[in-house]
Structure 1
Amino acid sequence: MARGIAKAVGVCFLAGVVAAQTPLGPSEYTVPGVFPTSVYESYYNDPTATTAEPQPVITDPITHVTYPYWLTNPETIPQEDTWETHPLPPTASSSQLLDYAVQQIISISTSPIFSSDTCAACQASLEVAKFLALAAPAEGPNLAIRLCEYFDYADDCAADYGIFTLGATLTQVAAYADAGGYDGQSICNQFLGLCPDPPTSPLDLTTWFAKPKPNPLPPSRKATGQRLKVLHMSDLHIDPRYTVGAEADCSAYLCCRPSSYNDHSPNVTVEPAPYYGAYYCDAPFPLILAAMQSVPVLTGTEEYGFNFSIYTGDLVSHDPGNQLSKEYTVYSEVRYRAQNSPYNIGPELTDQFNWDYDHLAALWEYEGWISSETAQQARTHYSAYSVQRHDGLRIITLNTDMSRRDNYYAYINLSSSDNSGMLRFVTDELQDAEDAGDRGERTDTPLIRSVDRFSPHVIAGVFFGHTHEDQLSVRRWKHTSLYTPAYL
């Protein structure tokens, strides 16, 4: 209708013009030389001058504000509007940030844009978690719990991911990891299966080793013919909370606890836990002590003992995270859930696991296993150290938590092939051994390149743990009869 009226008016107007046949005025107009000063009451400058723009004084009839000269003066044009308000959104509270983070991550997970790229969706979600961890770190564990519940990731999300279990660890990792880069891709691959397995960070071997491998290899020390007896133990997993008579055939590991039950017989114990332990349970003290008593008898070392012993880790029981604590860890003399962070994680968190390294070093020194100098080395190298026997044999220990897949802290700064410095430590120790003509045995080594470089003339053997099986592995050098054994 409006369009029709406008069209009709236009037609009438044109018709009037045509009907009047009024001739147009002159084709030229000459502006008077003097500015019509009567248009405005007053001016900031001389309006009659022809060398400058007239600057009338303007007063707003609504606000009654007289606008200042500097607002229109070409010599003082403001570069920033600093005198007016520029509204910003209000600061969100920590709980609001948590709600927004949950909403954004759910939105990302359901967006059709990411439907064909789960890896991009996962890393985008990690970026959201990262900003929450930095802006409202106390909400990090709550984010983990809520996402766990939404995606049905665990049976008891609060127990697994609360502030007193993995929640604090995950918040630290979210804050310091490169969520959009290599770290994020690795996290999404390892823990969620949403990204392809990224390649290992390259290690520049051109400058890694202080010296090239000797060629030919130095001659081995002449064997004395004396056979050494070595005891290698690992993964005892002592359970001081083991409960005799509890369900040993439980449906949810760890069994042999008062809360253990069998889904098929929740009210009646199917297999009461015996005094000396059961298959699905960690080891009670009677079993461990019986095993220790049997070792010298079964190995024929009752009279003279072993030349030396090696223990490759894991004493703590497999408790759920919410049942573990620093005190229980110290009691068990082992690191809590293999969660150790690198020293360079951040200035506020650098020493968060020093209590563990200090305690272990002090225990080993107290037992007379290492000297005070070696104990200091252990305190500053994540409990790693090197000792030497009188016959020149070196034993180099490592903390492999920094290379364990289930250590969340290992996913910070993965672009560095040696973020913790542990590989640098063992390489330098092996170089010192080579320079001195020593041989060494390494426990828990993650760097195969160092094995290649210093074998077989320096490394006599590699000892691991954690598989819960007796295993033997041999690495043989191409086109030679030389090899390095590994014992698990």
Structure 2
Amino acid sequence: MNEQQLEDELVAYVDLLSDPRDPDKARRNCGSCINLLKLMKRLCFLPEKMQLAAMTNICKRSKYVDNQVCEGVVREQGPVLRRVLRTMDISGKDGHLLCASVLNTCPYPATEPWKLPFPKLKPENPYMHKRSNKTMTVLHLSDWHVDPQYEAGTETFCTKPICCRSESTDFNNILSEASPWGSFGCDSPLALIESMLEYIPNAAPNTSFAILTGDIPPHEVWETLPTYKTQMIQDMSYNLLHAHFDTSFLINTTLYPAVGNHEAAPTNLFPLRDSDLPSGARHDDFSMAWLYHALKENWKGWIDEKHLNRIHQQSGSYVSYPVDGLKLISLNTNFCYNLNWWLYERPKKRDPNGILEWLIGHLQKAEDMNEKVWIIGHSAPGDPSCFHDYSNYYYQIVERYAPHVIAGQFFGHTHRDEIQIFYKEGSQKAEDAISVAYIGPSVTPFPDLNPGFRTYTVDAETFEVIETHTYITNLNESIEWSRLPLWYKEYSAKDLYGSNDNPYTPLSPAWWHHFTEEMELNNNKFDQYWVNRYKSSPLTPECDFVCRVNTICGMRAGKSELRCDYIPSEPTNRPIILNRKDKDACGISLLTKEFRQSNATL
């Protein structure tokens, strides 16, 4: 097969697997995905310039992706794919894992069994903190995706992953003009973020501390390089955050951030310590050393110096103490992320960069000191984008150290207002629920959500969440705003979801599980959760029976293999329902407007 024939065949496979008109057909076509990867691997043995040119041409010929986006994505991601694909066993687990986790076209490979070693056995009668009569307030921000190129009056519908920019606007033929405060299908203008930061002291005037669970840069996946461009956006954003959080008459509290997949340039690509990085001057930034150094500078004043100095050593993860008795552990969860191509490089690692071992060490110290722990990160372990193996191992850690040590988990990434529940001993019963992961709503309205943020009312002794409050602004009403966006409280979880039929302590893991049981029996309960999940967006999708089953299943899936929306490789007792109507907020959709809600984030 010559190069032209190879390219023609690749285009045919790409069209088959990316055609939005028939996604179910693509999901059934595992063989096509494997063949596509085999041909892609062949391309990777050509000289790099020829490989990248061929990949760019294939992308452009596929009809579904903007040409400029094709050129940029291949230019930035292609050199890493070149290194990684050449090491992969395409016909074996490697190829099937990529096809399953990214495109859902193959059965998901069975989890590789590994019983994590712990320093000590779980105590039979661990020290349990007693609930107090005192509470504190914690602020949760996530996924603000500020776009410096956002411009009011530009087009909200375009062929790029994000719109509302002059470069993607035909000013002689605008279908829908971007609002000064933000628009569906676009990332956040600076004005929207500033209005939110100015409103927060009204919503939470006495905030004890705050968390930011990742993703500051925009979804500009085709133009993240040179790295100083992405770093400049982050530097600007953290300067703004410091101005509000470090000022006595504004928010006036400490912010603890986590690393999102969009913090990297190129997007998603966090190499391991022993990754085979591309050589040459144009690839010098692939190590992410620039990012860890920038985060160290941007986080000064919030994190103790001794922990800041270890940011690079721990791949952006760190520990800190927001208040006495509470240890906060910030994890770089991008070593679980299915679009971090470095994770497919053979030989694979069970614990990339030793982050899980590091986490266990700090949890064990907390147990020995009778401390409570919060874990924050970007992608939750129950998200479909988190590898089943890694998620399984993380789940073992939660089972070992919850509920007596781990008092809370907080993530972002999906852009929605969600929760995930963890259980012990393979159960999914209320009495066996041991931990809850809170998924923070995004500030960005991308793809079709209202902007939002959340606060928690927390017991000051046990550090358990006993109430949540979600705040939003309704972009559909922006034309009526006279001066600034109108932010308001959308709902409180205990007030809205509570009932006399729920016998458990409000917002405990058991309480949340019982709520999912009520959702199964009561359509009104489900509908309340569904609307809030999308922050009352007028573009909230319909949710049929299949969607409802998958949503509740996902709420009970603290690890991703417990989800119901993928093809298993082995028999399972869980429901398997693939034709979901509810798609993830950030999908392969980032390549084109029509794909805005599919299954993975580039």
Change (3 A) 1:105 1:254: closer
Alignment counterpart, residue 353 of structure 1, candidates 288, 299, 306: 288
Q: State the Cα distance separating 1:394 from its structure 2 match.
A: 0.7
Aligned counterpart, 2:533: none
Alignment counterpart, residue 298 of structure 1, candidates 181, 203, 209: 203
Change (3 A) 1:309 1:318: same
Change (3 A) 1:153 1:244: closer
Alignment counterpart, residue 188 of structure 1, candidates 52, 74, 99: 99
Structure 2 matches for 1:46-445, cutoff 5 A?
102=7, 119=30, 122-123=33-34, 126-127=37-38, 129-130=40-41, 132-133=43-44, 136-149=47-60, 154-156=65-67, 159-160=70-71, 164-191=75-102, 194-202=105-113, 204-205=114-115, 207-216=116-125, 218-250=126-158, 252-261=160-169, 267-299=172-204, 301=205, 305-322=206-223, 325-333=226-234, 334-336=263-265, 337-346=267-276, 352-365=287-300, 368-413=301-346, 415-444=348-377
Q: State the Cα distance separating 1:312 from its structure 2 match.
A: 0.2
| Structure whose CA Rg is larger | 1
Using the alignment, how far apart are the partners of 1:482 and 1:105 within structure 2?
47
What does the per-residue CA deviation read over 1:285-339, in whole Å, with 9 as the maximum and x for residues that have no partner? 111111001001122x1xxx42111100011111241365412210222323222
Indicate the SS of the match to 1:165: helix
**Letter of the 1:259 counterpart:** E
Aligned counterpart, 1:459: 406
**Letter of the 1:480 counterpart:** E
Instruction: Using the aligned pairs only, state the percent identity.
Output: 28
**Letter of the 2:338 counterpart:** R
Change (3 A) 1:193 1:150: farther
Indicate the SS of the match to 2:310: helix
Q: State the Cα distance separating 1:228 from its structure 2 match.
A: 1.5
Indicate the SS of the match to 1:421: helix
Q: 2:401 aligned with 1:448, yes or no?
A: no
Q: Indicate if the aligned counterparts of 1:160 and 1:322 stay in contact, CA closer than 8 A.
A: no
Q: Indicate if the aligned counterparts of 2:327 and 2:373 stay in contact, CA closer than 8 A.
A: yes
Using the alignment, how far apart are the partners of 1:460 and 1:487 within structure 2?
12
Aligned counterpart, 1:12: none
Q: State the Cα distance separating 1:469 from its structure 2 match.
A: 2.2
What does the per-residue CA deviation read over 1:350-369, in whole Å, with 9 as the maximum and x for residues that have no partner? 9621111121122212xx11
**Letter of the 1:232 counterpart:** H
Aligned counterpart, 2:434: 483
Indicate the SS of the match to 2:373: strand
Using the alignment, how far apart are the partners of 1:469 and 1:105 within structure 2?
35
Change (3 A) 1:268 1:353: same
Using the alignment, how far apart are the partners of 1:157 and 1:341 within structure 2?
26
Q: 2:421 aligned with 1:470, yes or no?
A: no
What does the per-residue CA deviation read over 1:211-257, in whole Å, with 9 as the maximum and x for residues that have no partner? 221112x1323445321111111011111111121123446541211
**Letter of the 2:154 counterpart:** A
How high is the TM-score relative to the length of structure 2? 0.56
Q: List gaps (5 residues or longer) in structure 2.
A: 15-27, 235-262, 382-393, 440-602
Stretch deviating more after TM superposition (150-159 or 348-357): 150-159
What does the per-residue CA deviation read over 1:409-463, in whole Å, with 9 as the maximum and x for residues that have no partner? 2322485432342222222221221122211000135322211111000100000
Matched pairs, number: 374
Using the alignment, how far apart are the partners of 2:432 and 2:105 within structure 1?
43
Q: Indicate if the aligned counterparts of 1:145 and 1:157 stay in contact, CA closer than 8 A.
A: no
**Letter of the 2:53 counterpart:** N
Using the alignment, how far apart are the partners of 1:286 and 1:107 within structure 2?
44
Stretch deviating more after TM superposition (432-441 or 99-108): 99-108
Indicate the SS of the match to 2:44: helix
**Letter of the 1:137 counterpart:** E
**Letter of the 1:385 counterpart:** Y
Using the alignment, how far apart are the partners of 2:433 and 2:34 within structure 1?
45
Using the alignment, how far apart are the partners of 1:487 and 1:298 within structure 2?
19
Q: State the Cα distance separating 1:153 from its structure 2 match.
A: 6.1
Using the alignment, how far apart are the partners of 2:69 and 2:199 within structure 1?
43
**Letter of the 2:202 counterpart:** V
Using the alignment, how far apart are the partners of 2:230 and 2:364 within structure 1?
34
**Letter of the 1:209 counterpart:** F
Q: State the Cα distance separating 1:379 from its structure 2 match.
A: 0.8
Indicate the SS of the match to 2:328: strand
Aligned counterpart, 1:66: none
